[in-house]
Amino acid sequence: MTSNDTPPPSTPSFEESLAQLEEIVGDLEEGRLGLEASLLRFEEGVRLLRNCQGLLETAERKIEILTSNPAAPQLETRPFDAEATFTEAAPPAAKPARRKTPKTDGAENEGEARLF
């Protein structure tokens, strides 16, 4: 096989790219790499990030095509809202306070089992 006959390297899947990108971020955050190694890892991270963005854009286009099928008029196409996926989650709602039942001292409660 000559160098012209070698197949191009396959593009990693979204999940593979994301896992590698997370590993690179961890390496860079640790700060143990030298300048040259850090730059090489950063460049690799940018390449992986662009791959992830391209795969997401392709998926978005496919979803728009699938949801805009003219045979199904009830479906409508809406542009993808990237902001909606990155909004901060609302803080969890507080639990409602338990109502306290006043305890009464009286003969009417004698012999009755109280749960609270």
Into how many domains does the chain fold?
1
Q: Flag whether 109 is in a domain.
A: no
State how far the Cα of 112 lies from the Cα of 56, in Å rounded to an integer.
Answer: 64
Using an 8 Å Cβ cutoff, are 41 and 27 in contact? Answer: yes
pLDDT of residue 66: 80
Q: Identify the CATH number of the domain in which residue 69 sits.
A: 1.10.287.1040
> Confidence class of residue 1 from pLDDT cuts 50, 70 and 90?
very low
Q: What is the mean pLDDT of the chain?
A: 75
Domain carrying residue 33: 11-74
Using an 8 Å Cβ cutoff, are 21 and 52 in contact? Answer: yes
pLDDT digits 0-9 by tens, 92-114: 555 555 555 555 555 555 556 66
23-37, 54-68, 79-93 — most confident range: 23-37
Alpha helix stretches (DSSP H) within the chain:
14-30, 35-67, 82-85
Instruction: Note the residue count of the chain.
Output: 116
- Signed CA dihedral, 20, 42, 57, 78: sign only: positive
Of the chain, the percentage scoring pLDDT greater than 90 comes to 41
